[in-house]
Structure 1
Amino acid sequence: MSKSLLIISRQSPWSGPSAREALDIALAGGAFDLPIGMLFLDDGVFQLSSAQQPTTLQQKDLGANLQALPMFGVEALYVAQRSLAERGLLGQPMRLAAECLDDAALSALIDRYDQVITL
Structure 2
Amino acid sequence: MAKSLLIISRQAPWSGPSAREALDIALAGGAFDLPLGMLFLDDGVFQLAAAQQPDAVQQKNLAANLQALPMFGVEELFACGHSLARRGLDNDALSLPVEVLDDAALTALIARFDQVVTL
Report which stretch shifted further, 33-42 or 87-96: 87-96
After superposition, the CA RMSD in angstroms is 0.8
Query: How far off is 1:90 after superposition?
Result: 2.4
Residue in 1 aligned with 2:83? 83
Residue in 1 aligned with 2:109? 109
Report which stretch shifted further, 88-97 or 34-43: 88-97
Residue in 1 aligned with 2:44? 44
Q: Which amino acid aligns with 2:78?
A: Y
Query: How far off is 1:91 after superposition?
Result: 4.3
Residue in 1 aligned with 2:98? 98
Q: Which amino acid aligns with 1:69?
A: L
Q: Which amino acid aligns with 2:67?
A: Q
Give ranges in structure 2 of 5+ residues lacking alignment. none
Report which stretch shifted further, 90-99 or 24-33: 90-99
Aligned partners of 2:117 and 2:107: how far apart in 1? 15
Aligned partners of 1:11 and 1:58: how far apart in 2? 17
Give ranges in structure 1 of 5+ residues lacking alignment. none
The size of the alignment, in residue pairs, is: 119
TM-score by length of 1: 0.98
Mark the CA change 1:115 to 1:65 in structure 2 (over 3 Å): closer, same or farther: same
Percent of aligned positions that are identical: 75
Q: Which amino acid aligns with 1:102?
A: D
SS at match of 1:11: coil
Report which stretch shifted further, 88-97 or 29-38: 88-97
Residue in 2 aligned with 1:13? 13
Aligned partners of 2:32 and 2:91: how far apart in 1? 34
Q: Which amino acid aligns with 2:51?
A: A
Q: Which amino acid aligns with 2:9?
A: S
SS at match of 2:116: strand
Residue in 1 aligned with 2:30? 30
SS at match of 1:14: coil
